[in-house]
Amino acid sequence: MSKRTARSLRACLWISALVLCCISAAMLVEANKPKAGDQRLVDDPTVTGSVVGMRWCGAALWCR
């Protein structure tokens, strides 16, 4: 294999790796965008980790 063929093969591999990384990054950004249906979960304490919205039920049997 000549030097020119090896260089062009290496360049093609670098370009394909760069394209693959860009596609993966774009998919990651798209996956992290909030969807329109997720807005109802904003005040959900199990999603937000907030304790403010939780109900207090005391010593009731159904709370255990």
At 19, which amino acid appears?
V
User: What pLDDT is attached to residue 51?
Assistant: 55
- pLDDT of res. 37: 59
pLDDT of residue 61: 64
> Is the full-model pTM beyond 0.95?
no
Range of the domain at 8: 1-32
Number of domains in the chain: 1
Instruction: Specify if 60 maps to a domain.
Output: no
Tell me which residues of the chain have a pLDDT lower than 70.
Answer: 35-64
For residue 58, being part of any structural domain is answered with no
